[in-house]
Amino acid sequence: TQHLLTRVTSHQALGAFLHVDAAGALARAQAADARLAAGEAGALIGIPLAHKDIYVTADMPTTAGSKILAGYRSPFDATVVARLNGAGTVSLGKLNCDEFAMGSANENSAYGPAHNPWDLGRVPGGSSGGSAVAVAARIVPATTGTDTGGSIRQPASFTGITGIKPTYGVCSRYGMIAFASSLDQAGPMARSAEDCALLLSAMSGFDERDATSVQQPPQDFHAQMLTAREGATAAQPLKGLRIGLPREFFPAALAADVNVAVRAGLAELEKLGATLVDVSLPRTELAIPVYYIIAPAEASSNLSRFDGVKFGHRAAQYDDLLDMYKKSRAEGFGAEVKRRIMIGTYVLSHGYYDAYYLQAQKLRRMIADDFQQAFRQCDLIAGPVAPSVAWKAGEGAEDPVKAYLADIFTLPGSLAGLPGMSVPVGFGEGGMPVGLQLLGNYFKEGQLLHAAHALQ
């Protein structure tokens, strides 16, 4: 912990951390030592990590990357944080992210961008950009992220690390500041599938304080990851595994370098015994407009709580209550958040609800059905995480729609609530990392982790 705290300081320029709690970390490390000395066993006791600043924490401030929450301190810990604390992990601090997790480059953080350690002039991806950077730069071995439309998978891909978003409902959302509640999921980001499996086992599980939390017994994802497949051999651990390649995930617009690296990863999976089958997810392109209606709609509702009254920023001067709301929100929210509140309010408004929101909900169901159709022919689905490697800093800033379009391969799985991973498979243009996306059917995290582990 002491050593990694020096790395936090020496790597400050990467912009990964928003808050560092050195004294608290050392105290937690000592407590972990005591647990180990008392003979307690547990893979995570004493493991240093850090949390995306979207999880509320009682012992550190929480901002969600927003000015509106500057100075905010939660009276309680998010369930995911409490469980990882209980498992003995040592939190070093809170990590940079896009404001309220809205973005895919970590350039929407009110506290400045995070930089990709592979090329400081490029973005690390987002919204869990700080979480990805902290692992990729070896500041901490593991971090938490959240994934609403790709925010664990895409930054993992852009920085060459491994991340998993479990099935919707596997991790509690209690204390995870809400962006789009029907999509938000917690997950770990680390160097390997194995580390992710250990973390996910500790983070997940039923929580009565989240109404969408799934009632399933505690899972040992690490054991599931290690469980050999029936008919597997030492040379072919994935024998009999059918991996579906949706043709819509390999469009002409896919960057050639990403295509090459992803195909190399697929060839590796074949060598391990998997068979590749052609499948179709015909509504892939529609996932973009569907997501960018549903997510802002939910966000506009969720963000109504930031009104300058209960917590967060309040304008210094105002005329009356309404003026206080307006000024506090105008001063506290950044441009992307305001854009989404406006879009969300519009698509939910009387007269437009049926035309936009309801249509989007119907299409969301059809996108989920398409996956079930595909899973009749395969066990896992594979493809790229993103259509290109990490782009240059500032490139997405002027044109938000361009950034939205780059979410094309992560959004379908999010809308369906499926588990998904990013596993590093090679390097593309400029020596930038490329991730392979693996998607599983509901509650098939063990199968995903098994395949990713075999590949690593």
Angle, to 10 degrees, between the axis of helix 359-374 and the axis of helix 287-302? 130
> Of the residues 74, 104, 131, 151, which is catalytic?
151
CA-CA distance, 66 to 178, in Å (whole number)?
Answer: 13
CA-CA distance, 272 to 266, in Å (whole number)?
Answer: 10
Where residue 93 falls (left for φ over 0; alpha for ψ -120 to 50; beta otherwise) is: left
| DSSP three-state, residue 98 | coil
What minimum distance in Å lies between the beta carbon of 454 and ligand GLN? 27
Based on CB atoms, which residue is closest to ligand GLN, 148 or 159?
148
Based on CB atoms, which residue is closest to ligand GLN, 354 or 398?
398
CB 239 within 8 A of CB 273: yes
Based on CB atoms, which residue is closest to ligand GLN, 8 or 156?
156
Helices (H), 160-220: 193-203
Cα dihedral 338, 339, 342, 347 sign: negative
Q: Note whether 151 binds ligand GLN by CB under 6 A.
A: yes
- Cα-to-chain-centroid distance, residue 176: 12
| Nearest residue to 245 (alpha-carbon basis) of 379, 368, 381, 378 | 381
Two tokens at 55? 């999880």
x/- track of binding to ligand GLN for residues 169-208 (CB under 6 A): ----------x-----------------------------
Based on CB atoms, which residue is closest to ligand GLN, 131 or 447?
131
What minimum distance in Å lies between the beta carbon of 109 and ligand GLN? 12
What minimum distance in Å lies between the beta carbon of 98 and ligand GLN? 7
Tokens 């997510």 found at: 295
What minimum distance in Å lies between the beta carbon of 102 and ligand GLN? 5
Among 79, 89, 104, 192, binds ligand GLN (CB under 6 A): 104
Instruction: Decide if 67 is catalytic.
Output: no
Q: Note whether 102 binds ligand GLN by CB under 6 A.
A: yes
Cα dihedral 374, 196, 168, 442 sign: positive
Instruction: Decide if 127 is catalytic.
Output: yes
Tokens 């209550």 found at: 321
Among 48, 117, 124, 150, binds ligand GLN (CB under 6 A): 150
Q: Note whether 101 binds ligand GLN by CB under 6 A.
A: yes
Q: Note whether 407 binds ligand GLN by CB under 6 A.
A: yes
Among 127, 162, 201, 224, binds ligand GLN (CB under 6 A): 127
Two tokens at 81? 């944080």
User: Which H helix or E strand runs over 29?
Assistant: helix 22-37
Instruction: Decide if 52 is catalytic.
Output: yes
What minimum distance in Å lies between the beta carbon of 7 and ligand GLN? 26
User: Which H helix or E strand runs over 190?
Assistant: strand 185-190
Based on CB atoms, which residue is closest to ligand GLN, 87 or 337?
337
What minimum distance in Å lies between the beta carbon of 209 and ligand GLN? 21
Residues in CB range of 345: below 8 A, 6 or more apart: 300
Within residues 303-362, the interface with ligand GLN by CB under 6 A covers none
What minimum distance in Å lies between the beta carbon of 427 and ligand GLN? 23
Tell me, by CB under 6 A, how many residues bind ligand GLN: 13
Phi, psi of 242 (to 5 degrees): -100, 120
Residue 301 burial by CB count (10 A; 0-12/13-18/19+): exposed, middle or buried?
middle
Q: Note whether 62 binds ligand GLN by CB under 6 A.
A: no
Based on CB atoms, which residue is closest to ligand GLN, 147 or 307?
147
Within residues 268-287, the interface with ligand GLN by CB under 6 A covers none
Annotated catalytic residues are: 52, 127, 151
Name the residues that contact ligand GLN, by CB under 6 A.
101-104, 127, 147-151, 179, 295, 407
